[in-house]
A = this chain, B = another copy of it.
């Protein structure tokens, strides 16, 4: 259909859908400077999974759980918008929109494009989902936003202007400055802030602020941010969903119950009430809520009438609007706004209802997401090296699964169990495809014979996604009959890396050689019962069967891997007995024996008190830090308010402890494993907590691996299991936690920067989300803990850091309507979920902790990727390329820079993101401007074009900066907010191709390379 015809259709539908033959509603109102302007913003909030899965929400199945069908929203929206060109709508979640878009005919698509172009339909936020802000890693937030934004750019040529995080349970600094300002948003709106904060802000008209989320980037990354007065629904009585209760506007004089004046009065009263707590004469009404607009027309029918009659009344001015129009109107007033720094955590919606439980809820899902995040980053690198295959296998489905998993009811753990399963299933499917990409890329990269692309690589690399349950079929091959195992170790970091890897083996007498044929020291670590049990049960649960043979050992050895590259090792049976790996010594403490034992082969040693099983002393011989450290477990019983008048259980969202129980470690269970590379202290803390404290000879941190669960619930009490690490540091209630794995924010116990806190939950109200780590410090030392996934933590007692590791049991009445009680089943035998994980701690002299937190933190995020292959007779090393680095051999990224995205796009261009890892002032050496040489990053390729883009890669950075609104901050003069001036990297010189990165800066580029018939990657290998 051509445009002319389309216009006819639009006209037609306008007439067809107009309410009445008598009434034509005047909905054309714009802004009236002399009145209160009520911006009606029609919207739907479509959770990308919560009570139902994303697909169930889309098609509208499983409605017995929740009547919700996104298809209906979008199907019914199109004719409703066509019917009146003044009507507007915003759409947010691209995971849904893309599902719908793919289903539409070209004609519908062309109509929708017109609606987008005319501004009737505006995409805002625009990521695949409305990600959570507490528990996702910032890289995942960027990736999922980019995925949505690039789709919108490619399909519609549009760039969302507005951040719209209306439902997440508190709001992060990173969201404001990075996923807000750095994405190019003009403003950012949200619904949930602490109830005490909200009261104060309403009183002071400070719900709308200028938010500077980053100490380092300051005003260069500030954003206009508005918290809604209540929630993201319309004012009471203006909710016009099909079958909803609000009084419809009855303006037909021929029927009974004509109520126009009543409704106009209600409208004006609600508008004035909101105007009384809002600066300027612009207020926003969020006309919609979760999965509403099932039949969009019901809303517009009533809004049309309200706009018509309210404006006829004249006391206030009502208009169809969007957050963009609202933002521009606010901006046009040239008013100043209060300044907001830090973040909006934790969130409590009322007394005793701190939403700090979800920082830890479903810790296994949280780990799976984090693990896949690092894997996805690595897989995209390898996909790029090999060359992307649009028709697959590729990393797209993992990208999609990861994006969806960032939703604020996904990785948060606040969904129903079947939905959590759906996220895991998607990740698993995505992983399986990405695993193929990785395997084939590695095979290609190692395949010396193939100089021209990668036709038929010879090596079949296996990976071991279940290594965490000590299950790795590829490594568990019997080497005693002469077979050798090739182990490839890929490093996705931009630095060379040395680390101890480990995997299970079935042979005892084996040797490790590097690719040069040098024998490497290795250590056999016994696989103890706790791990065997985990392997047996979970392999059966995940795979349907469990192999009968159980390997007795992990082999551990130190690998050295170049940046963005791999090294290869050969595992083989020892030529002569005893010449292979060193077996660890095992020392089981008996009652009354030695009072203490010292472990540690390197600079760091721990002294363990045998009677208590606790660490009593921590000594670093290099930097001379010495500290008493006591680590213990406890659990909180979850509040069960079933008999209360105003009950508030602890649940998936809310942490509400009702008593603390310290878990006394069982003395008899102490075992020390010692060897040349790693020492371990094994402790069966109680029947359902097993802990390994691990010291690597070459590392100066303590690695703690825990297995918590199945948490017993036969007593009917929910248990929220925490660990405390207690030092003597005098941190004066102060601790630091990261924002989405990036900036650290200062936290003070029982205190809020923005208001006088009324403390009603002395534990839950002091919990904060931890993605990277938490630290405390005093005048001499800093004590840092880093984590392998997001979890909740705090410093409830001076000198102590606490992490919550696992939690259950009740529902907290925030909609999930299902107990948080994760189980794992083998057929009908279900057990409580056991959670395995690691955290790491270290004590540094004051001012020296950041280096470890930042660089080792990056290593935790991007663990070495292992791939295994059996050597098939001939010498694999000599016939293959055993080592590889994608970057110039002379080069590695600066210590303060990480490559957080390297990805071939579907148009063949390459997306590159570089992140400065340090904040201003964080480290005396590394909190400085850094420089990356792109030519050395892509040594074999000719860079034709480098364009710097916004963070989500949907617009030119320069254009974005030009368009950026310059908001005024209350109390700051014109240039005061640039003092001290924020320094940022300058535009890239197309000749020099060097990228400057200021502290905390992330810069995003699209690169184009000279097209070469010969694969440049492989060409480089051949050239090398």
**Contacting residues, chain B, for A104 (C-beta < 8 A):** 20-21
**Contacting residues, chain B, for A1013 (C-beta < 8 A):** none
User: Within 8 Å of chain B (Cβ to Cβ): is A59?
Assistant: yes
**Contacting residues, chain B, for A71 (C-beta < 8 A):** 301
List CB contacts (< 8 Å) of A219-247 with chain B.
242-247
Establish whether residues A76 and B295, one from each chain, have CB atoms under 8 Å apart when the complex forms: yes
Establish whether residues A12 and B16, one from each chain, have CB atoms under 8 Å apart when the complex forms: no
Establish whether residues B422 and A256, one from each chain, have CB atoms under 8 Å apart when the complex forms: yes
Establish whether residues B247 and A61, one from each chain, have CB atoms under 8 Å apart when the complex forms: yes
Establish whether residues B63 and A252, one from each chain, have CB atoms under 8 Å apart when the complex forms: no
Count A-side interface residues using an 8 Å CB cutoff: 61
Establish whether residues A242 and B422, one from each chain, have CB atoms under 8 Å apart when the complex forms: no
Establish whether residues A243 and B20, one from each chain, have CB atoms under 8 Å apart when the complex forms: no
Interface string of A46-89 (1 = CB under 8 A from B): 00000001011011110110011101100110110000000000
Question: Could you tell me the distance between the alpha carbons of A14 and B250 in the complex, rounded to whole angstroms?
Answer: 32
Question: Could you tell me the distance between the alpha carbons of A331 and B79 in the complex, rounded to whole angstroms?
Answer: 41
Question: Could you tell me the distance between the alpha carbons of A425 and B255 in the complex, rounded to whole angstroms?
Answer: 13
Question: Could you tell me the distance between the alpha carbons of A53 and B257 in the complex, rounded to whole angstroms?
Answer: 10
Question: Could you tell me the distance between the alpha carbons of A638 and B551 in the complex, rounded to whole angstroms?
Answer: 77
**Contacting residues, chain B, for A106 (C-beta < 8 A):** 21
List CB contacts (< 8 Å) of A9-47 with chain B.
9, 12, 15-22
* A243 interface neighbour in B17, B68, B105, B107, Cβ under 8 Å: B68
User: Within 8 Å of chain B (Cβ to Cβ): is A298?
Assistant: yes
User: Within 8 Å of chain B (Cβ to Cβ): is A102?
Assistant: yes
**Contacting residues, chain B, for A932 (C-beta < 8 A):** none
**Contacting residues, chain B, for A247 (C-beta < 8 A):** 61
Establish whether residues A12 and B1, one from each chain, have CB atoms under 8 Å apart when the complex forms: yes
Question: Could you tell me the distance between the alpha carbons of A254 and B68 in the complex, rounded to whole angstroms?
Answer: 20
User: In the assembled complex, how far is the CB of residue A675 from the closest CB belonging to chain B, in whole angstroms?
Assistant: 47
**Contacting residues, chain B, for A18 (C-beta < 8 A):** 105
Establish whether residues B103 and A248, one from each chain, have CB atoms under 8 Å apart when the complex forms: no
Establish whether residues B102 and A254, one from each chain, have CB atoms under 8 Å apart when the complex forms: yes
**Contacting residues, chain B, for A246 (C-beta < 8 A):** 63
**Contacting residues, chain B, for A250 (C-beta < 8 A):** 55, 59, 61
**Contacting residues, chain B, for A1018 (C-beta < 8 A):** none
Establish whether residues B63 and A297, one from each chain, have CB atoms under 8 Å apart when the complex forms: no
Question: Could you tell me the distance between the alpha carbons of A66 and B252 in the complex, rounded to whole angstroms?
Answer: 21
List CB contacts (< 8 Å) of A284-330 with chain B.
294-295, 297-298, 301
List CB contacts (< 8 Å) of A97-122 with chain B.
99, 102-108, 111
Question: Could you tell me the distance between the alpha carbons of A341 and B802 in the complex, rounded to whole angstroms?
Answer: 83
List CB contacts (< 8 Å) of A269-292 with chain B.
none
Establish whether residues B298 and A69, one from each chain, have CB atoms under 8 Å apart when the complex forms: yes
**Contacting residues, chain B, for A9 (C-beta < 8 A):** 9, 12
User: Within 8 Å of chain B (Cβ to Cβ): is A8?
Assistant: yes
Question: Could you tell me the distance between the alpha carbons of A56 and B252 in the complex, rounded to whole angstroms?
Answer: 12
**Contacting residues, chain B, for A5 (C-beta < 8 A):** 8, 12
Establish whether residues B16 and A105, one from each chain, have CB atoms under 8 Å apart when the complex forms: yes
Establish whether residues B99 and A297, one from each chain, have CB atoms under 8 Å apart when the complex forms: no
Chain B residue at smallest Cβ distance from A15: B107
Establish whether residues A243 and B63, one from each chain, have CB atoms under 8 Å apart when the complex forms: yes
Establish whether residues B107 and A55, one from each chain, have CB atoms under 8 Å apart when the complex forms: no
Establish whether residues A59 and B248, one from each chain, have CB atoms under 8 Å apart when the complex forms: yes
Question: Could you tell me the distance between the alpha carbons of A63 and B250 in the complex, rounded to whole angstroms?
Answer: 13
Interface string of A318-350 (1 = CB under 8 A from B): 000000000000000000000000000000000
Chain B residue at smallest Cβ distance from A294: B242
Question: Could you tell me the distance between the alpha carbons of A103 and B252 in the complex, rounded to whole angstroms?
Answer: 9
**Contacting residues, chain B, for A58 (C-beta < 8 A):** 255
User: In the assembled complex, how far is the CB of residue A367 from the closest CB belonging to chain B, in whole angstroms?
Assistant: 23
Question: Could you tell me the distance between the alpha carbons of A111 and B8 in the complex, rounded to whole angstroms?
Answer: 16
Chain B residue at smallest Cβ distance from A102: B254
Question: Could you tell me the distance between the alpha carbons of A255 and B75 in the complex, rounded to whole angstroms?
Answer: 18
List CB contacts (< 8 Å) of A952-1003 with chain B.
none
Contact status of A252 and B297, CB under 8 A, knowing A21-B106, A69-B243, A243-B67: no
Question: Could you tell me the distance between the alpha carbons of A889 and B250 in the complex, rounded to whole angstroms?
Answer: 53
Question: Could you tell me the distance between the alpha carbons of A256 and B63 in the complex, rounded to whole angstroms?
Answer: 15
* A244 interface neighbour in B22, B53, B63, B111, Cβ under 8 Å: B63
**Contacting residues, chain B, for A12 (C-beta < 8 A):** 1, 5, 9, 107
Contact status of A20 and B76, CB under 8 A, knowing A55-B257, A295-B295, A422-B256: no
Establish whether residues A64 and B248, one from each chain, have CB atoms under 8 Å apart when the complex forms: no
Establish whether residues A256 and B105, one from each chain, have CB atoms under 8 Å apart when the complex forms: no
**Contacting residues, chain B, for A17 (C-beta < 8 A):** 75
Question: Could you tell me the distance between the alpha carbons of A764 and B246 in the complex, rounded to whole angstroms?
Answer: 41
Establish whether residues A245 and B75, one from each chain, have CB atoms under 8 Å apart when the complex forms: no
Establish whether residues A72 and B297, one from each chain, have CB atoms under 8 Å apart when the complex forms: yes
Establish whether residues A61 and B297, one from each chain, have CB atoms under 8 Å apart when the complex forms: no
User: In the assembled complex, how far is the CB of residue A195 from the closest CB belonging to chain B, in whole angstroms?
Assistant: 28
* A72 interface neighbour in B245, B298, B422, B425, Cβ under 8 Å: B298
Establish whether residues B295 and A72, one from each chain, have CB atoms under 8 Å apart when the complex forms: yes
Contact status of A15 and B105, CB under 8 A, knowing A61-B248, A248-B60, A295-B294: yes
Leading 3 A-B pairs by shortest Cβ distance: A67-B243, A295-B295, A64-B245
Query: Can you give 28 contacting A-B residue pairs, CB < 8 Å?
Result: A5-B12, A8-B8, A12-B107, A16-B78, A16-B108, A16-B111, A17-B75, A20-B104, A21-B102, A21-B104, A21-B106, A53-B256, A55-B256, A55-B257, A59-B248, A59-B252, A60-B298, A61-B248, A61-B250, A63-B245, A67-B243, A69-B242, A69-B298, A72-B297, A79-B79, A103-B252, A242-B242, A256-B425
Q: Which residue numbers of A lie inside 8 Å of B, CB to CB?
A: 1, 5, 8-9, 12, 15-22, 53, 55-56, 58-61, 63-64, 67-69, 71-72, 75-76, 78-79, 99, 102-108, 111, 242-248, 250, 252, 254-257, 259, 294-295, 297-298, 301, 422, 425
List 8 other contacts, CB 8 Å, given A16-B111, A242-B294.
A9-B12, A12-B107, A53-B256, A69-B242, A72-B297, A75-B297, A76-B76, A256-B425
